[in-house]
Structure 1
Amino acid sequence: MAALPLLLPLLVGCVVAAVHPPRHRPPCHIVDTSVVCSDLSLTSTPADLPPGVQALDLSHNQLQNLSGDTLAGHTGLRHLDLHSNKIHFIQPGLFEAMHDLKVLDLSGNQLNVFAMAKIQIGTLAAVQSLDLSSNGLYTGMSDFFLADSPSLVEVSLSSNSITKIAKYTFSGASSLRRINLHNNVILEIEDGAFDSLDGLSDLDLSRNSIACIMDFNLSRLRSLNLSRNSLELFQSTSSTEPYHLAFLDLSENKLPHFPLLPTNNVIRHLDLSRNRLQSVDVAETKMPETVLKHLRHLDLSYNHLTGLPESFFRTMTSLAVLNVSNNCVTLFSVTDKDLLPAAKTVNLSYNSLQRLALSEGTLQALEELFLQGNDLRTLAHQTFQRLPSLNLLQLQENNLRVCPSETKPDQNHPSCVSFFSVPKLKFLYLSQNNLKSLPYRAFADTPLSLLDLSLNPGMEMHQDSLAGLEHSLVQLLLRENNISHLSADMSSLRSLKLVDLSTNHLTSLPAWNQGLSIETLNLQNNSLVTLERTAMAALEHSLKTLYLGDNPLSCCGNLDLVRLLQHSAVVVPDIEAATCVLHQGSDPVNIEKVTQEMCSGRKKANYIIAIVVIVVLAAIASGLLVKFCKSRREKYVRRFSA
């Protein structure tokens, strides 16, 4: 009896265990020497793992204290992933015995607690990649992890609370090549903070609070990201020492002037977008003209530029991509054949362009020209014909008028833009240009593959406006043009695959024939009641995708369409909105659910109603006739009774 009180808790525990059996942990995923034990609510490494593990993933668990016992004695690891745990203590010297450990991920933990105790993690003898991001670390705390890491090549300290990079922050990691300090609160970088890192090539300081860079002298650096800071000044030293910097990102800052770049540089990519630049006159910065000779990509978008002097491009002989979109530029001119000889893409969209002056023989390599969202009304005759490599031209949101093909040049009073015989132009966007008409053979001898004429309400198309595109045009976009009848002849466009006629007022389909091979047809939001049998028959062999929603279709007037949708591979992506009505006043029916019987029954009912109406009318007529005859007989009898 004395033992009963001792046995009672054990018995209760057994009963509870029987009712609620312990949950079995899902097994780790093991492939050769790699083990993944992620997101298993673990507090330590499972003891049943095979020996010889080289890669161990313990991310997204509940680990708190990291020791030899926690890692179950696995000292031969090469890759250890511990991110997103709750680690706030690491046994000092834990990684000294791991002579093969190359990659260590400690991100997303609570290592600020460990650092507050001012205990060093110990030697990271072989570690080459260390991730300490998102650990709540602030200034000085990284020293306890980097003090003795001679093999470290890359370190991430992103998304912490570091405000200052001290002179000796990285002194214990002299082999560093890549440092990521993205998303901290860095205000100050002490002089010489990176001087001990002879091999440093990539430095990410983006999304911090740095206000100025004075006397930039990291000559061995190849990539520098300073985007999303508060920079008002970037100035390099006046040294003629060769700089290896190839990638410089200064976007999303407060720079009012063009940065003072190293004199002897190899910068290929320069991003100055989203600053406060008002001028790009290099002469103002007193930089040598040769400073930009290696530049291949220049982004000046989203600034306050009002002009682009040709002198700015004088030595940009290697520039391939120029982006000046979303500024206030009113004139873009290239009058010298030696300017921008390698330019393939020029983006001038969303400026205030009123003039585009491109002289004969300039921009011979240009393939893509973006001019949308400007105030262009007229252009010099054959502006685009002078660009022999032009492949894509975006002109939407301007106020242009298209010339017919036979228009003669009038340099004094240009009134329209010619798209006739542009040798390599394949993609042309002319939507939202207030186009009132599309003239005869407007694009003849231009190998257009895509033509966008959308959002030009009231545009009248000549019957032969698309003549000359028979063998090239693949996509034709005519949405939102208030078209009630498509007058342009499309029957000979043998290469046409996609036609967008959505959001118009079409009551009938264009005249199509069997020679067409349209695969995608958008007829959404029109006034179509019946789709002509001949038109649908012409498309039946090629059509793959059809948009039909928001049309007042008649169910029984489109039985050919119903059969096409029910018995072919045609896909209707907006099928839920593709409805029809059986008779006036009836509720809409999804066109996929229409059957022959519905319409046959309706025809029979109509036939019966017609017979009833005829019988009633015949009865009424007979009654009237009998009444008339009776009246006549009575009059005759009265006449002879006297």
Structure 2
Amino acid sequence: MPVHGLLPILLCFLPVWRSLTPAWSHPHSSQCQLVLRMAICSNGELSSVPARLPDNIEELQLNYNAIQTLKDASLSRYPSLNTLGLACNKLEKLESKTFEGLKLLESLNLASNNLYIGYQETGLALKKLSRLRVLDLSENKLDDEMVVALLQNLTSIEYLNLSGNLLQRLDEASFRDLHQLRELDLQRNIMFEIDGAFDSTPRLQRLNLAFNYLPCLTNFHMSQLVVLNASHNNLEWFISRQDLNDTFQLDTLDLSNNNLLFFPFLPSRSRLRYLYLSHNAIRFYERFADDATLQNSSATVEFYNLKTQAANVTARLWDDGLHGDISSLEMLDLRENQMDYFPDGFIQKMPNLSRLRMCTNCLDSLNLTSEQFSSSLYELDVSNNRLSQVSADEGTLASLGNLTYFNLSLNDLEKVPVRLFSSLRSIRSVDVSYNNIDLCFPGEAEIDTHSSTCVEWSNIGSLRQLYLKGSNLKTVPTSAFTGLSLTHLELSDNPGLILQESIEPLSRTLQHLGLGNTHMQDFDFSHFQSLKSLNISKNSLERLPSSLLNLNLRVLDLRDNRLSTIPSGQAGVLALSLQTVFLSGNPFNCCQIEWFRTLEAAETVTMVDRSVIECEDLFLITHRVAHPQSVQCIDERGESIVWYILLFVSGCLFAVVILAFVVLAARPQMLPKSIKKNYLSIRLSDTL
């Protein structure tokens, strides 16, 4: 067949051949890496779009370059593009015909540029993208007016990122064309008002308003929203519409780090599962109305200027209807508020509650029986409150069969129910640190059948982690931990603690042991072959316990002891297994820091406080071990240069004295003459 007869057939196969040809066979810029149909041209100091890439690429990444203007037709060679990344360039504008011919582009990243300069022409360019679904305009110094211009007619957008801009106020015009919008990120702007901005976004499900300056969120009626993050604002109120019959789809609501004074007024019909309210000023006020000592007190509050509300609202401070539906809550985070009690029935309204975090509040008592926690409760944290007592009957404790993590630390507890922990059949972690609860000797807890000043921990089969820091413990009974399979035991900050043989039953299972600030001097760790983490800080240790060398430790805390050095052999053994070590606060000898070089040379060891580890030289001058300067040390033969200097000087002085005696002995007449001469000169000066 003649060649011209084959030409039409070859042309027919050309598109197939092009799709099968590997990307590396095309000429392309040296700054780019081609992977299948993706071109990665980031970090290449490019000032324009590369023109010699394969024309069938579907993704082009041009992030971290120096492109200032995206010119007309600069992308027309790549009609198959569906993803384009231009983040962290110097883009000031996109010319109006930049995207002509790009009918398939769905994802565009323009983050961290200077689009505020040429936003009007950039807006004209974006209008050509009829299939655009993902758009990132974050950190471009855009204000309210600029955003409106950029988003006109982008009806296909589903994900929009406007974080880190200069938005102050949103209204009906802000997103009026974004009918398909599902996720919107507005965090880290300077917004202080939102007025009807989301009325045109009926499909919006995820909204991030964090790190702004919003004073309140009222008339909340976005029933389709699934996730709302309004943390780190200045919110004093969150009030949802109470007159809507729709069931709100809200699953997660984050109002943490605000100025909320009241529990939020949630929708009357809700599926809310996760509610984050930490770092506010929330408390309940109904007790104030019942306090006869407070004159003119009231159990109602009035809300004014609610805009769309026909009239002002007056409601009880604790009203089940106004505060909404919390029956689906699984997580309630109320850390660092001002709550001093739970209103009657509050806990009962959350039958599915599995995590309650109440640390750093003002609770003075906890009655597990009257509160009626659900059997779903998995985590209960009431640490750092003012608890003086915990009450519970055996039936209540038996019903809490799912409770696994219980934190009562940093309270004022002196008594607890006798079987508070032994009746919790799933309990794995208990923290009663910094209370005045002692360890029971055999039979001691049975003296009082209701409450006791001590706790008996033995034979709690499910318990794995026990924290008893700062509990004024003096002696640990021999049988204290029998029948336990603890992996974590924390006994630090109990000065003068006598352990005896009480923790040896844990030798097979214990992985973390805290004995910091217990005044321990010597301890045989050789039995604890499973130990991975050990804290023996603040114990005035002058040498490293030799029994540590038999362990396979990963973490070792030796801070604030009296170690002058660590023998090289010991440091070498530790370096074989250690991953993290703390060493600051020891008076190390600058002339014996071979251990530091050994640990520093071990690539697997991290000295967390490396920059602040100090040592002293022979003149008691302090140096940083990592950068010792002008340190006088002992030479290789074990003799100090300083001693040589002192010996030389003293020898010279001795020689001078001997020489003087020899001279005077040889010429004894010189001594009287010199004395007489000095005497006469003194008398003459006195006479004058």
Fold-level match, TM-score > 0.5?
A: yes
Aligned with 1:59: secondary structure?
coil
The reply on whether 1:232 has 2:226 as its aligned counterpart is no
The reply on whether 1:400 has 2:437 as its aligned counterpart is yes
Q: 2-side partners of 1:530 and 1:132: how far apart?
A: 56
The reply on whether 1:38 has 2:47 as its aligned counterpart is no
Equivalent position to 1:64, from 49, 53, 68: 68
Identify the residue that residue 211 of structure 1 maps to in structure 2: 215
1:42–1:61 CA contact under 8 A, matched in 2: yes
The reply on whether 1:251 has 2:242 as its aligned counterpart is no
Alignment of 1:273-312 (within 5 A): 273-279=278-284, 284-287=318-321, 291-309=325-343, 311-312=345-346
Mean Cα displacement is larger for which, 514-523 or 374-383? 514-523
Identify the residue that residue 352 of structure 1 maps to in structure 2: 386
Q: 2-side partners of 1:308 and 1:296: how far apart?
A: 17
Q: 1-side partners of 2:48 and 2:604: how far apart?
A: 57
Equivalent position to 1:387, from 400, 406, 424: 424
The reply on whether 1:110 has 2:110 as its aligned counterpart is no
Equivalent position to 1:434, from 447, 453, 472: 472
The reply on whether 1:476 has 2:527 as its aligned counterpart is no
1:466–1:490 CA contact under 8 A, matched in 2: no
Aligned with 1:144: secondary structure?
helix
Alignment of 1:55-134 (within 5 A): 55-71=59-75, 73-115=77-119, 120-121=124-125, 122-134=127-139
TM-score by length of 2: 0.71
Deviation readout 1:526-552 (Å, 9 max, x if unpaired): 5689999xxx9xxx9998449899589
Indicate how the Cα distance of structure 1 residues 285 and 111 shifts in structure 2: closer, same or farther if over 3 A, else same: farther
Indicate how the Cα distance of structure 1 residues 154 and 460 shifts in structure 2: closer, same or farther if over 3 A, else same: closer
Q: 1-side partners of 2:543 and 2:116: how far apart?
A: 71
Aligned with 1:215: secondary structure?
strand
Indicate how the Cα distance of structure 1 residues 183 and 151 shifts in structure 2: closer, same or farther if over 3 A, else same: same
Aligned with 1:230: secondary structure?
coil
5+ long unaligned stretches in structure 1: 1-24, 591-596, 602-642
Indicate how the Cα distance of structure 1 residues 105 and 167 shifts in structure 2: closer, same or farther if over 3 A, else same: same
Indicate how the Cα distance of structure 1 residues 511 and 59 shifts in structure 2: closer, same or farther if over 3 A, else same: closer
Deviation readout 1:85-119 (Å, 9 max, x if unpaired): 22223222533531110101112222222236796
Identify the residue that residue 191 of structure 2 maps to in structure 1: 186
Q: 1-side partners of 2:139 and 2:544: how far apart?
A: 60
Aligned with 1:235: secondary structure?
strand
The reply on whether 1:317 has 2:351 as its aligned counterpart is yes
Deviation readout 1:389-415 (Å, 9 max, x if unpaired): 111112223333221243232147732
Deviation at 1:269, TM superposition (A): 0.8
1:475–1:497 CA contact under 8 A, matched in 2: yes
Identify the residue that residue 594 of structure 1 maps to in structure 2: none
1:28–1:35 CA contact under 8 A, matched in 2: yes
Aligned with 1:356: secondary structure?
strand
Indicate how the Cα distance of structure 1 residues 378 and 42 shifts in structure 2: closer, same or farther if over 3 A, else same: same
Indicate how the Cα distance of structure 1 residues 423 and 199 shifts in structure 2: closer, same or farther if over 3 A, else same: same
AA at the equivalent of 1:103? S
- Give the number of aligned pairs: 564
Deviation at 1:434, TM superposition (A): 2.5
Percent pairwise identity: 30
Mean Cα displacement is larger for which, 99-108 or 308-317? 308-317
Deviation readout 1:105-136 (Å, 9 max, x if unpaired): 11222222223679633232011001111112
Aligned with 2:478: secondary structure?
coil
CA RMSD of aligned residues (A): 4.5
Identify the residue that residue 684 of structure 2 maps to in structure 1: none
Deviation at 1:73, TM superposition (A): 3.4
Aligned with 1:51: secondary structure?
coil
Aligned with 2:119: secondary structure?
helix
Equivalent position to 1:463, from 500, 504, 508: 500
The reply on whether 1:448 has 2:479 as its aligned counterpart is no
1:338–1:362 CA contact under 8 A, matched in 2: no
The reply on whether 1:423 has 2:461 as its aligned counterpart is yes
Q: 2-side partners of 1:32 and 1:53: how far apart?
A: 8
Indicate how the Cα distance of structure 1 residues 222 and 527 shifts in structure 2: closer, same or farther if over 3 A, else same: closer
Identify the residue that residue 605 of structure 1 maps to in structure 2: none
Q: 1-side partners of 2:177 and 2:610: how far apart?
A: 65
Indicate how the Cα distance of structure 1 residues 43 and 482 shifts in structure 2: closer, same or farther if over 3 A, else same: same
Aligned with 1:437: secondary structure?
coil
Deviation at 1:195, TM superposition (A): 2.5
TM-score by length of 1: 0.75
2:75–2:99 CA contact under 8 A, matched in 1: no
Deviation at 1:158, TM superposition (A): 1.1
